[in-house]
Amino acid sequence: MKQHWKNWCWICSLWKNKTRDAVCGFLPQTASVCIRVMSMMNKKKSNWIVGVLLCLAIVVFVVSMWQLLCIGQQYRLGSCGYEELAQTVVTQTPPEQPALQAAETTQPSKPQPLLQVDFQSLTQINPDTIAWLRGCDGEIDHPIVQGKNNKYYLRHLFDGTANENGTVFADSRNNADLQDENTFIYGHNMNNGAMFAALLHYRTQGYYDEHRELILVTPRQSFYLWPFSGYVTAADSDAYTISFEEEDSFGDYLEKICARSEFVSSVTVTPQDRIVTLSTCAYDFDEARYVLHCKLVLAQ
């Protein structure tokens, strides 16, 4: 399994290198064109100045194209790798009704199929693996890791390759067994729709009404995530509170975050519950974040 992942990344990298070689091969041609333009314009000073500006514009254009190609290749490398990984280690099983407080909350009438995840293969690739998350019609379908800090996986893929897609990861301050009152899971909002970009769909009531459930699987248990609040907030807001000294303070927190929600939910949450907060970037203002608070419901 580990070798299979490496082979896939090697193929993507090879394609990236061929594209780079093509662009690099174009650079000498660009330089030749610039020399010819300068030669043609050298007869008059005014034309010479125009030629210099034209050559500079060509160089800027080529460099910009190269940078865009590099960014695009990073997006493709990250996205295709995660899609291949999901196809390899995840299978579906028939859905079961959630067992935790089903009578107190409004759950989806047709629960999503649960997942069987090959965690042994995943941990061979990355020992930091703690779970798998699927939702948003498969737009979110990722392994979840937990590192020693909250920086490394912002710029590294699941196999450790440096890449702007990063990896979906749990807050390093949380317990990996999801026993905290509030567990945070982070992912980038990529321009190509990858990673946690799909969370922004929950900003509309209609999308929430059709997608009231995600699936979270750990090596020991399977859970449903029932979204009950979603909104844009600042990166340093009190939404990012992990632990609470008293039950009452957690209850107050739940009341505040429910009041902020951009969609209306019938899911009931109490201080006795545990929640999982999915977080990604938003662009409403500087350092804006979108958070989707979900009730953690035991599936089996």
Indicate whether 249 and 171 sit together in one domain: yes
Average pLDDT over residues 180-200: 94
Indicate whether 78 and 101 sit together in one domain: no
Average pLDDT over residues 61-84: 57
Question: What pLDDT, on the 0 to 100 scale, is given for residue 210?
Answer: 96
d(CA 106, CA 142): 26
Q: H helices of the chain, where?
A: 2-41, 45-89, 119-125, 205-210, 247-259
Average pLDDT over residues 202-230: 97
Whether residue 6 is predicted with pLDDT greater than 60 in this model: the reply is: no
Report how many domains make up the chain.
Answer: 2
Indicate whether 103 and 45 sit together in one domain: no
Question: What pLDDT, on the 0 to 100 scale, is given for residue 38?
Answer: 52
Taken in order 180, 279, 74, 201, the sign of the CA dihedral is positive
| Residues 92-150 pLDDT 10s | 766 554 444 443 455 665 566 789 999 999 999 999 999 999 999 999 999 999 999 99
Indicate whether 51 and 149 sit together in one domain: no
Indicate whether 194 and 247 sit together in one domain: yes
Indicate whether 145 and 58 sit together in one domain: no
Instruction: From 30, 57, 85, give the residue that closes a domain.
Output: 85
Whether residue 26 is predicted with pLDDT greater than 60 in this model: the reply is: no
**Residue 288's domain spans which residues?**
94-298
d(CA 229, CA 200): 12
| Residues 229-284 pLDDT 10s | 999 999 999 999 998 988 889 999 999 999 999 999 999 999 999 999 999 999 99
Indicate whether 110 and 209 sit together in one domain: yes
CATH of the domain at 146: 2.40.260.10
Indicate whether 159 and 180 sit together in one domain: yes
Question: What pLDDT, on the 0 to 100 scale, is given for residue 46?
Answer: 56
Instruction: From 35, 65, 85, give the residue that closes a domain.
Output: 85
pTM of the model: 0.74
Whether residue 212 is predicted with pLDDT greater than 60 in this model: the reply is: yes
Instruction: From 55, 85, 115, give the residue that closes a domain.
Output: 85
Query: Is 64 within 8 Å of 261 (Cβ atoms)?
Result: no
Indicate whether 140 and 286 sit together in one domain: yes
Residue 68 or 129, more confident: 129
Indicate whether 70 and 102 sit together in one domain: no
Indicate whether 231 and 100 sit together in one domain: yes
Query: Is 290 within 8 Å of 211 (Cβ atoms)?
Result: no
d(CA 66, CA 87): 32
Question: What pLDDT, on the 0 to 100 scale, is given for residue 248?
Answer: 86
Q: Mean pLDDT over all residues of the chain?
A: 80
Task: Provide the pLDDT confidence category of residue 81 given band limits of 50, 70 and 90.
Answer: confident
Question: What pLDDT, on the 0 to 100 scale, is given for residue 265?
Answer: 97
Indicate whether 186 and 67 sit together in one domain: no
Other CB atoms within 10 A of residue 64 CB: 10
